[in-house]
């Protein structure tokens, strides 16, 4: 594989549409900002055998990586601008694989109006590994934070919870549910929602490590507690069916992670705006509990009893 | 290893001093820019066994990674602002190793006035791998490019060439030269020089893939050719001594890479400014040839004969 030829063939076309990329012909990219705007910058890395199986279609690996970064931008209320990508590949990687990977990026770039601005392709003696840094823009001072939830806020989540964790079980099992598997492979960054949360939500983040753990992050940074109610948690039909067969799977709903739905808090006085927003975006927005004075997350079951939290979320080590 | 505890202990202190890092407590960082400034963004990845040996002191691995990114900013004339770091570690990595790595960053952050703004720590089933994205600031429209060399420009390099490539040979051999090994392990980003090149140099980049290959990049992007003269190439004393013993090592001088010196072109009319600048910075700046009408790099020896270029530089695959 000729590295420079491969980069030119696969990645240069992805930089068209963002002039600051300089068509990937220089050591660095240029990023300029309109007056009154700030950059929101997020970065993530994934490695085969840990964060993805490794045998997925390369296009799907690329799209999920991009979407996970976009999900962070969505959670902060930012609009996508550009991204940087480091691709670390075993030396036996085929050109077809790289083309497939780049093609996945191409598809999602068009869908989410973002372009490649720079990066590096290197060899590694380990499994395929990728690192992405995504830039978004936002009016100065408006970024949605984790640290600004207030007692009395209602806690809201978008979409449905646990699909991705159950999808991964499906993918590993014999009779997989296609809907759940797709939710695992291709999360949907909630960019339109995030934008609408500016001026509405007090605190916001995306759920990547699991509902309970991520809500714990909001509580820790905001110095508050939270009560959430299991009967209120939004489930897809396939997820509800699996839970009905095996109640232990609730652990996956509240702690499985990889949801990439938004988790945000809103002053109770603005509760009715949530219903209107859900209708406008055609996206379920569900109130699952409330922020309280305290320092921990409490999950209540159907009988208002505290559920012991066995799986507090995804630990990276 | 408790991931969140480790990150807090090792990396949070590195984010102090850059308010946009939000002390690493949120999903993303905020980057704002003074009016009239642009961001210069560069990114690099390194993997154990390919880009570094793996048994170096963790502090040295960290410092070289940071310095290589700073070298790109230097080559573009930018001032360091902040960096993002993804750390991909085998699960048997010890906390001591991570502390050592972070300590290396701490040392160089102080030296180069840059801070950690965000990142991710993940597990990998492969060797230790790192990805860094560095941000610099520059007056809008002033970034030094590869594409703007002009026939008649003189070609200048900073410092001495080939030390790093010879240092790597030293490191692998029995009787290593300490000066050369240090040049391999700890390159010196030429930030003060880069800043001074704004308004002086026509084109600029740093030498990471080897003099001939990197000069080839300038020629390709600028649509020019270049003639460089081997007797003019600046060598350190230990490098000159090795060359005297083994003339084949010239290949390492012109193609070994990892120099992290600046390679730039200047209108011939400004030649005397180079001497003054070298004196001011206390850094050798050596004219090694000239940009010509053409499309390739020609290396001439002591007798003005063309040297066949066996090693055209570092290929990543």
CB < 8 Å from A in window 217-246 of B? 221
State chain B's mean pLDDT as an integer.
Answer: 94
Q: How far apart are CA A200 and CA B35, in angstroms?
A: 29
Residue A175 predicted with pLDDT over 80: no
Residue B172 pLDDT grade (very low, low, confident, very high; cuts 50, 70, 90): confident
Inter-CA distances, B94 with B58, B60, B89, B97, Å? 11, 17, 10, 5
Secondary structure (DSSP) of A251-305: HHHHH------EEEEE-GGGHHHHHHHHHHHT--EEEEEEEESSSSEEEE-TTSP
**pLDDT tens-digit map of A260-310:** 999 999 999 999 999 999 999 999 999 999 999 999 999 999 999 999 986
Q: So what's the pLDDT on residue B293?
A: 96
Whether residue B30 and residue A43 make contact (CB cut-off 8 A), yes or no, is no
* CA–CA–CA angle B23, A266, A308 (5° rounding): 75
What's the rounded mean pLDDT across residues A49-78?
96
Q: Quote the ipTM score.
A: 0.93
Would the pLDDT of B1 be above 60? no
* Letter string b/e over residues B164-185, b meaning 16 or more CB atoms within 10 A of that residue's CB: bbbbbbbeeeeebbeebbbbbb
Q: What angle do CA B248, B250, B251 make, to 5 degrees?
A: 80
pLDDT digits (tens, 9 = 90+) for B13-67: 999 999 999 999 999 999 999 999 999 999 999 999 998 988 999 999 999 999 9
Q: How far apart are alpha carbons B304 and A135 in whole angstroms?
A: 50
pLDDT at B29: 98
Distance (Å) from the alpha carbon of A117 to chain B's nearest alpha carbon: 9
User: What's the mean pLDDT in B187-196?
Assistant: 98
- CB contact, 8 Å: B268 with chain A? no
**Cβ-defined contact of B126 to A121 (cutoff 8 Å):** no
Cα within 13 Å of Cα(A30), Cβ side: 20
Residue A97: per-residue pLDDT = 93
Q: Are the Cβ atoms of B39 and A31 closer than 8 angstroms? A: yes
SS3 label, residue B79:
strand
Residue with tokens 């750390």: B87
Cβ proximity of A68 and A134 under 8 Å: no
Convert the pLDDT of each residue in A226-257 to its tens digit: 999 999 999 999 999 999 999 999 999 999 99
Confidence (pLDDT) at A5? 74
Give percent of chain B with pLDDT exceeding 90. Answer: 87
Residue-level pLDDT at A133: 98
Residue of B nearest to A54 (CA): B125
What pLDDT does B312 receive?
Answer: 53
Residue A315 has pLDDT above 70, yes or no: no
The model's confidence at residue A312, banded by pLDDT at 50, 70 and 90, is low
Q: Which residues of B touch A1 (CB under 8 A)?
A: 317
Please tell me which residue of chain A has the smallest CA distance to B42. Answer: A28
pLDDT band at B3; cut points 50, 70, 90: low
Strand (E) positions, A140-223?
154-158, 203-206
Return d(Cα B259, Cα B176) in angstroms, integer. 18
Report the share of chain A in percent with pLDDT over 90. 87
Local structure of B116: helix, strand or coil:
strand
Whether residues B28 and A72 touch (CB distance < 8 A) is answered with: yes
Tokens (6 digits) for B9: 């202990």
Residues B28 and B118: beta-carbon distance below 8 Å: yes
What pLDDT is recorded for position A6?
Answer: 76
Q: What is the pLDDT of residues B258-276, one digit of tens each?
A: 999 999 999 999 999 999 9
Residues 63-82 of A with CB under 8 A from B: 72-73, 75-76, 78
> Measured between CB atoms, does B8 come within 8 Å of chain A?
no
């Amino acid at each position: 594989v000729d590295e420079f030829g491969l980069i030119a063939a696969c990645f240069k076309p992805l930089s068209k549409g963002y002039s600051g990329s300089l068509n990937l012909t220089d050591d660095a990219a240029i990023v300029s900002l309109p007056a009154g705007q700030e950059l929101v910058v997020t970065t993530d890395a994934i490695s085969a055998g840990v964060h993805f199986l490794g045998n997925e279609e390369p296009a799907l690996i690329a799209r999920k990586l991009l979407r996970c970064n976009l999900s962070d931008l969505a959670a902060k209320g930012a609009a996508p601008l550009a991204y940087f990508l480091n691709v670390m590949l075993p030396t036996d990687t085929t050109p077809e694989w790289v083309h497939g990977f780049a093609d996945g990026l191409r598809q999602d770039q068009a869908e989410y109006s973002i372009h490649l601005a720079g990066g590096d392709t290197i060899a590694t003696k380990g499994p395929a590994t990728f690192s992405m840094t995504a830039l978004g823009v936002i009016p100065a001072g408006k970024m949605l934070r984790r640290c600004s939830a207030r007692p009395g806020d209602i806690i809201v989540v978008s979409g449905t919870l646990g699909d991705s964790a159950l999808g991964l079980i499906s993918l590993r099992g014999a009779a997989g549910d296609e809907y759940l598997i797709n939710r695992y492979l291709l999360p949907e960054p909630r960019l339109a929602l995030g934008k609408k949360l500016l001026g509405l939500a007090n605190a916001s983040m995306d759920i990547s490590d699991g509902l309970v753990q991520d809500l714990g992050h909001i509580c820790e940074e905001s110095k508050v507690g939270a009560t959430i109610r299991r009967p209120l948690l939004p489930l897809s039909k396939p997820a509800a069916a699996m839970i009905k067969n095996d109640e232990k799977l609730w652990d996956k709903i509240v702690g499985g992670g990889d949801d990439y739905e938004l988790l945000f808090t809103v002053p109770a006085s603005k509760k009715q705006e949530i219903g209107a927003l859900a209708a406008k975006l055609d996206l379920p927005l569900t109130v699952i509990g409330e922020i309280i004075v305290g320092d921990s997350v409490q999950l209540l079951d159907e009988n208002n009893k505290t559920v012991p939290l066995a799986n507090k979320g995804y630990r990276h080590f």
